[in-house]
Structure 1
Amino acid sequence: MQNWEGVSEFVAVAESGGFTAAAGRLGISTAQVSRQVSALEARLSTKLLYRTTRKVSVTEAGQIYYQHCRQVLDGLAEAERAVTDLQQVPRGRLRLTAPVTYGETTLAPLVNDFALCHPELQVEMQLTNHKLDLVAEGYDLAIRLGRLEDSSMMARRLGSRTLYVCASPQYLSSRGEPHSLSELGQHNCLPGTLDYWRFREQGRSRNIKVSGSIRCNSGRALVDAALKGIGIVQLPDYYVEEHLRAGRLVSLLEHYREEDDGIWGVYPHNRHLSPKVRMLLDYFSESLGE
């Protein structure tokens, strides 16, 4: 086994850009990672990494060695997954990532129910609004919303989400209700991350630039502002449907509503779809409605 010692640690350092990050990824100490990589370099009589006080970079020889090691490790992981498939039982670690609010409100309860049914499974769920590199960071699955941009990934549509434009009855009683897209300029529209809202007019998608007294990258904050009568918002269904049903918000401009976005399960195209990932995707699909 000596020939394998340090290989996983070196690959983790090369991909994560540092010993501390690699240690966190592997679940071992930074000192152990450093020792293993140093022993590997000594065994190869080759410097694989440049180390400075500020950063770690891969040498030319290290790049060549990394490419070969990555293929070998991928092959070993594929072999292990193939053997696990024979058992058809979700087990081992499953790492997935999802957007924060959608993950908290919708996915986490589903993941928890799934984990209850499969006690041999260890789930690690990272909720973040940043798009993580699934291959480099070792994730099995990502849940992404809206339009997909990364064609290097495999994707399965699990469900859909609807974008609503809405305001409180209080706001509408004081400012009136817009009935056309051109009237939005006369209203206090509260944008989020983007400065435009999406609509569909005469069969075509159309983006309308909006502005107002508040702009915030938090959907929950915008919902609160809308409920307090400050202005109009455009948000996905999981933020506003409860308030729409209760009459606390009113849906507007429904004739111009954009087509529903997709909810996608995304995974690397060269990664074997293990039973645990496939079964979780099936569970999501059944629960989310498609």
Structure 2
Amino acid sequence: MSPKANSTALAVILALCASPVLAQATTEESPAATSSDSAPATDTPPASGAATTEPTGSEASAAEPAAEPAESDAAEAEAAPAEATPDAEAAAEDAPAADATPAEPPVGAYYPRATHGDWSLRCIKTADGADPCELYQLMKDAEGNSVAEITLIPLDNGGEAKAGATIVTPLETDLTQGIRLQIDSGQAKAYPFNFCAPVGCVSRVGLTDAEINSLKRGNTGSVSLLPYGAGADQVVSLPLSLTGFTAGYTELEAAVAEMRAAAEAAPAPAADDAAAAAPADAAPAETEAAPAQ
């Protein structure tokens, strides 16, 4: 037998001898592999159980935020009518207020009774209904600034003056110069100041029937005064409108007649009430009116 054939036969013999050993090794490793493969299998049920339970909790958590917007929407839906309610109530309250008649002024307060042109008939509210009234006009300078005011009341004291006019000017008025009242192009008449108060300096003027008629027939008037410290050529002339004076004075006389009738019909006040009302008596105003100079 040749050497090559001998080596081949030897290799075959060695292979046959090694086959049982390799088979046994393979058989012994298979259970180990099976054991290692089955180990994860035993762990699989808990893993699958945990997987089944955990998604359920996360789904519940996801459901809670979904429920919260629904609750907040319901709360907003309930709040919307509540917010609209005050506006509706305010509108309901404003509607009657627009149609309601003005409340009566308190006792002692001025209230407007009528307006005639540039003159206002205003009265003072009293407890017994005998409201004294006066004819009033606010005088302004050329720039539209309110400077002085004039009020008139009829007089019934048996004197030459049939009406009393009270003119109030600023405190910064030269008292030594007094004031001057002029109707249209007629001669200006001078009147002195009587006193000054926090509201201004006051000049009380007595008007005769002729002077009242000149106011009724006139077109325009003026009241002149000199500011304190100003030169003699710096006299301020305030326009006095006579528009509506005749109608206003006629209604003033009617209002004064009503006041006197109401005062006579009112019950006589007690002695204490009469003493308390004495300082408010208008009699001094009638006697202190100064005649024109």
Same fold (TM over 0.5): no
TM-score class, shorter-chain normalisation, is: under 0.3
Q: Which has the higher contact order (CA 8 A, sep 6+)?
A: 1
**TM-score computed with the length of structure 1 as normaliser:** 0.22
In the superposition, the TM-score normalised over structure 2's length comes to 0.22
